[in-house]
């Protein structure tokens, strides 16, 4: 440090300034005195270094406390600060650390080697029947995944050998380069963020620490699952590189269309055709449910096509809960298309006895038509 100028005076702030005020003052002055904005100006370059030095100290709570108590002596060799609490001189090599403080660790939290990346998550699509969704099932799936290499135990190095520190990044896993006002940090291209280089890669995995293999897994499909339900198998995804944790496997369920039932949540819906005589006189029909039981449905006399009848508790089970939904039967009255001579004769006899009161909706409709026709002809 060429001159022991008070750090607070350099940043033009009070000694009681909080972190927000310090950061704002530093950014303003750094922009003002940056060498790129003042090319060839030695004074600006010196000022810029002093500003960096001041902010690096005051933005660190421990360094600031030592500075407030002992001043610059806290960081001089053999001084009260213990020597080495702060790298004096304000060299540009510390600029990346300063930016990490300003911008919240955007440069990797101090330039250390990267944390081990977990393996990728995998997706597996499984098709099941509505009956299987109703009862649940145990299923076996076969998935091609990357597993940890057993010979090298995921290290990527031949058994009995290890790795050396990367010469390019010095074991940090990252390299830095200054571009104008900013310090750009990226993953080391030599060690790919590990901070280590394998000299003798494992022959089985070629230094990857993982190999491709087929994995057979048992999957428990609970009763009540629906189309799109996702089941997570923790740790059954891709193995992480160089022994890092594996990802997860997600089973996505797709329920096939059923020949009889449609599903809406926990409700089962089916459409049942009935004869016009059953619709007129009433009766009873039986519907086989997915639960294996036959459910009797009472048809009230005079029911109309499209009417829905509900059977409580005969629908789908609630996923991971208690109870079941309902079975809904939608009645479709079917008009006969093939009649014997005797049937036609009976129907004509019935038709001869009609008064119009038997079908009130038809009577009402034609009365409205008559009124409309009268209005048009008047």
Q: How many CA atoms lie within 13 A of 206 on its CB side?
A: 2
Q: Is 166 annotated as a binding residue?
A: yes
Contacts of 52 (CB under 8 A, 6+ apart): 30, 90, 92, 94, 95, 98
201 exposed, middle or buried (CB, 10 Å; 0-12, 13-18, 19+)?
Answer: middle
Residue 205 among known ligand-binding residues: yes
359 marked as binding residue: no
CA distance 370 to 367: 5
Asked if 198 and 230 count as a contact pair (C-beta separation under 8 A), the reply is no
Phi, psi of 233 (to 5 degrees): -110, 100
Residues found in the chain: 378
Q: Any known ligand binding at 41?
A: no
CA dihedral over 95, 97, 101, 106, signed as positive or negative: positive
Residue 220, number of CB atoms within 10 A of its CB? 11
List the alpha helices (DSSP H) in 151-255. none
Report residue 172 as tokens: 């940090």
- Binding residues for Zn(2+), as ranges, are 149, 152, 166, 169, 188, 191, 202, 205
- Binding residues, as ranges, are 149, 152, 166, 169, 188, 191, 202, 205
């Amino acid at each position: 440090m060429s001159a022991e100028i008070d750090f607070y005076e350099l940043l033009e702030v009070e000694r009681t300034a909080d972190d927000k005020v310090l950061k704002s003052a530093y950014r303003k002055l750094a922009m003002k005195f940056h060498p790129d904005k003042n090319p060839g100006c030695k004074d600006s370059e010196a000022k810029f270094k002093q500003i960096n030095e001041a902010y690096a100290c005051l933005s660190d709570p421990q360094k600031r406390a030592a500075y407030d108590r002992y001043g610059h002596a806290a960081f001089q060799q053999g001084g009260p600060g213990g020597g080495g609490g702060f790298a004096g001189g304000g060299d540009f090599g510390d600029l990346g650390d300063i930016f990490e403080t300003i911008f919240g660790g955007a440069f990797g939290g101090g330039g250390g080697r990267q944390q081990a990346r977990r393996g990728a998550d995998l997706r597996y699509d499984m098709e099941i029947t509505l009956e299987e969704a109703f009862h649940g099932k145990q299923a076996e799936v076969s998935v091609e995944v990357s597993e940890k290499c057993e010979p090298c135990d995921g290290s990527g190095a031949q058994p009995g050998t290890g790795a050396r520190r990367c010469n390019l990044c010095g074991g940090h896993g990252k390299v830095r380069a200054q571009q104008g006002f900013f310090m750009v940090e990226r993953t080391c291209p030599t060690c790919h963020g590990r901070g280590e280089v394998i000299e003798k890669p494992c022959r089985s995995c070629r230094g990857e620490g993982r190999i491709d293999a087929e994995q057979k897994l048992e999957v428990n499909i609970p009763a009540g699952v629906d189309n799109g339900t996702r089941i997570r198998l923790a740790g059954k995804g891709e193995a992480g590189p160089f022994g890092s944790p594996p990802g997860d496997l997600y089973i996505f369920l797709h329920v096939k269309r059923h020949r009889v039932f449609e599903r809406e949540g926990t409700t089962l819906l089916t459409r049942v055709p009935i004869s016009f005589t059953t619709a007129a006189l009433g009766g009873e029909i039986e519907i086989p449910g997915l639960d294996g039981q036959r459910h009797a449905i009472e048809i009230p006399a005079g029911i109309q096509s499209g009417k829905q009848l509900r059977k409580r508790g005969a629908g789908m089970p609630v996923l991971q809960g208690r109870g079941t939904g309902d079975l809904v039967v939608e009645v479709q009255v079917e008009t006969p298309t093939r009649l014997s001579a005797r049937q036609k004769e009976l129907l004509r006899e019935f038709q001869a006895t009609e008064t119009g009161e038997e079908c009130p909706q038809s009577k009402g409709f034609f009365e409205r038509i008559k009124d409309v026709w009268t209005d048009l002809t008047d």
